[in-house]
A and B are shown apart, each in its own frame.
Chain A
Amino acid sequence: MSDAPTAARPQPGMAAGALARVAVLPVGLALRVLDPPMRWLQRAIGVRRMAYVFLLPNFAFFGLFVFLPIGINIVFSVTGGTALFPSERPYVGAEQFAYLFDCGSYLDPSSCREDHFWRGVANTTKFVVFQVTAMVLFSLITALVLNMKIRGRGFFRAVYFFPVLLSPVVVALIWKWILQRDGLLNAAITTLGGQKILFFVDPGWAMFWAVFVSVWAHMGFYTLILLAGLQAIPADLYEAAEMDATPRWRVLTRITLPLLWPNMIVVIVLALIKGAQTFDEVFVLTGGGPGTATLMVVQYIYETGFASQVQNFGLAAAASVVLGLVLFVLTLLQFAAARRKEI
């Protein structure tokens, strides 16, 4: 009799099991319903063609939300006018591209007809160069430190990855509160007896913080890639290097970095692609200003297509196609880098 209450008490494992059974119930039901028609289909078209049937939902989804918009974008880039529907837009050939590329000198945006586009290109290029350099450098240093046997390693790994989980808008808002005229940083500076710095008024500071915030927000992701690469280097290579009386600096330059190089390439190319696409963080942080000092290509596309009074879909689409081509080349680079990963 004394065993009865114990036996009646629900066990945690039992509860989880019951929950799992309930959770898979719809799946089981769906499988039972789908089974007869799928069997019929397989008999009708053969086993080999069934692969395409299973791929079809993904193709449909991908086609609808990726390939179709790309197609529409290309159509918009070769048509003119302000109409939204492609059928109502007159064909203009490469006119939009010619307009975009009409420049006295490509090194001087003010000599271009569409100077904002070229300012965006120049700013994005500057941003990408600084951001990718800083990103690779700081990710590498962080990964090297986090790969050491330091106290609280797990905690620090989580801390460095945490900003990656935040929305870019949230990241930009946090830093805006810190950096604005009456923000935290200026409060700290004035407390220490300094003068307020108008970070978003000075073009140099604005670009610096745009790069800084971007590196802060995304560094965790690249650190993780490099950390995985570092952990894939067999420990006995370091022991062999120790037996070979290798100085620490030489271990880094002759063993760690060459073996980490495939991961570094992936990080560089991914950071390049992400950098070229930068929009939301910088837009919320600086609004592209002061003036056009931090205006990026994607912001130009957004403003030309949607935010200006005259919505120039054609020009925005042409700029998108140009950016898309650059990203396509960078993606090919990434694929090539990934394929070269094997030493």
Chain B
Amino acid sequence: MAELKLTGARKSFANIDVLHGIDLAVKDGEFVVFVGPSGCGKSTLLRVIAGLENVTSGEVLIDGERVTHLPASERGLAMVFQSYALYPHMSVAKNMAFALENMGLKPAEIQARVARAAAMLRLTDYLDRKPKALSGGQRQRVAIGRAIVRDPKIFLFDEPLSNLDAELRVATRKELAALHAKLGGTMIYVTHDQVEAMTLADRIVVLNAGRIEQVGTPLELYNRPSNAFVAGFIGSPRMNFLPAVVTSDDGTLRLTVGERELELPRTASGLVAGARVTLGIRPEHIDVASDTGMLGATVDLVEQLGGEAFIYASAPGLPQITLRQDGQSQFHRGDAIAIRFAADHLHIFDATTGAALARP
């Protein structure tokens, strides 16, 4: 177990900057998830931590010790690769023992560690098999086992579930969470799947175009995103973003949204009449209103999931709005509905920079 600290970590390939000065501290025993869209630099950041890529500038510290220029082999970290990266010509036991042999441990110690990890990961019956004779989930467990046996300072996971089917992904996700609870090691996990991030992380680091957008607990990011990017990335279906214009801010904030005026019983700093903003509201914070005085919309599509339903509706002058309803919806395509925003869950973002101006 160890702490990790990155200060001003930059990475460029040729003349292309991939990481623009990352500052981050990961606490001992913490499960931190890097999340972001493809190409945001999350895997590069993980590889920089691992030592598989060198930083162009900045520092990497593990337990306060500078490891910036140490090769991967000397950092004492373990990594689980997206492709598993199991040695195809070695048995499961050999795969797990390989790093221990490199460390010069005695055969009895190696055997004990492998047996312990195999029991923990339900791999005891497969120790003599080659990786090609295993299922995707079993291979992934071997890859995790290979990391566990080394008792590394930090576990690094590079999109470890992305090659598994949906059902197995959910099951392995739960196993990973249980494993972290049991081992208590520092874990850094890269994914583009915000559900994995939300369910596994103690803290999430949201990355975009090589920069950290926000760091926080899953619910902090969900409830109080610091900008429109984080608000849009965290949560499924994503938050609705509606263009709005401030009409007045005299203790009560008034906004024009589409063809309607909205009144919010709070204010936001720096907002003046005429300012253009983006209103953010999550699908579960929009209700279908019984009165017709609210925003009028037409149902474009209804997705019935059994326990919940998503309604996609259009309102004049606004982008399509997504609503979530508990249970099953009685609405159909083409129905006229009135919708109401839960005022205390409205987010206001700067229309240009996306920065949060007012949060619930």
Contact across chains for A239 and B81 when beta carbons are under 8 A apart: yes
Q: Is B25 among interface residues, defined by CB-CB distance under 8 A?
A: no
The segment from B67-75, B117-125, B201-209, B236-244 found at the interface with A is: B67-75
A234-252 contacts to B, CB under 8 A, are 234, 236-237, 239-240, 242-247, 250
B52: nearest residue on chain A (CB-CB)?
A: A239
Q: Is A255 an interface residue (CB 8 A)?
A: yes
- Whether A245 lies near B81 (C-beta < 8 A) is no
A259 to chain B, nearest CB (A): 6
Interface string of A255-286 (1 = CB under 8 A from B): 10011000000000000000000000000000
**Which of B85-93, B215-223, B278-286 lies at the interface?**
B85-93
B132 and A243 within 8 A (CB): no
Q: Which of B71, B98, B103 contacts A242 (CB 8 A)?
A: B71
16 pairs, A vs B, C-beta closer than 8 Å = A237-B85, A237-B87, A239-B72, A240-B146, A243-B52, A243-B78, A244-B73, A244-B146, A245-B73, A245-B99, A245-B102, A246-B98, A255-B87, A259-B88, A259-B89, A343-B89
Q: Is the CB of A242 within 8 A of B52?
A: yes
- Which residues on A sit within 8 Å (CB–CB) of B257? none
A254 at the interface (CB under 8 A from B): yes
B50 within 8 A of A: yes
A250 surroundings in chain B (CB, below 8 A): 102
Instruction: Mark interface residues in A218-237 (1 if CB within 8 Å of B CB, else 0).
Output: 00000000000000001011
Taking a contact as CB atoms closer than 8 A, the residue among B74, B81, B103 that contacts A240 in the complex is B81
Give the CA-CA distance A234 to B89 in the complex, in Å.
Answer: 13
B79, CB-defined interface residue at 8 Å: yes
Which range contains the number of B residues in contact with the other chain? 20 to 34
Q: State whether A244 and B83 are in contact (beta carbons under 8 Å apart), knowing that A259-B89, A343-B132 are contacts in the complex.
A: no
Q: How far is the CA of A255 from the CA of B90 in the complex (A)?
A: 9
Q: Is the CB of A245 within 8 A of B85?
A: no
Shortest A254–chain B CB gap in Å is 7
Q: Are B77 and A243 in contact (CB under 8 A)?
A: yes
Residues of B within 8 A of A236 (CB): 81, 83, 85
Q: How far is the CA of A254 from the CA of B81 in the complex (A)?
A: 20
Q: Known contacts A236-B83, A259-B88: does B102 contact A243 (CB below 8 Å)? A: no
A243 vs B150: C-alpha distance when bound (angstroms): 10
Question: Does B89 contact A247, Cβ atoms closer than 8 Å?
Answer: no
Q: Taking the nearest CB of chain B, how far is it from the CB of A231, in angstroms?
A: 16
Q: Among A234, A243, A244, find the residue whose CB has the most chain B CB atoms closer than 10 A.
A: A243
Which of the residues A234, A255, A258, A259 comes within 8 Å of B83, measured between beta carbons?
A234
B71/A244 in contact, CB under 8 A: no
How far apart are the CA atoms of A42 and B86 in the complex, in Å? Answer: 52
Q: Which of A237, A242, A258, A343 is the one whose CB lies under 8 Å from B72?
A: A242
> A243 CA to B146 CA in the complex, in Å?
11
6 further A-B contacts with Cβ under 8 Å, apart from A239-B81, A242-B51, A244-B99, are A240-B85, A240-B86, A243-B50, A243-B78, A245-B103, A343-B88
Set of chain B residues within 8 Å of A343, measured between Cβ atoms: 88-89, 130, 132
The 3 closest A-B pairs by CB, nearest first: A244-B99, A245-B73, A240-B85
CB distance from B75 to the nearest CB of A (A): 9
B35 to A: closest C-beta gap in Å = 22
Question: Would A234 and B85 count as touching, CB distance under 8 A?
Answer: yes
Report the Cα distance A193→B5, complex, angstroms.
66
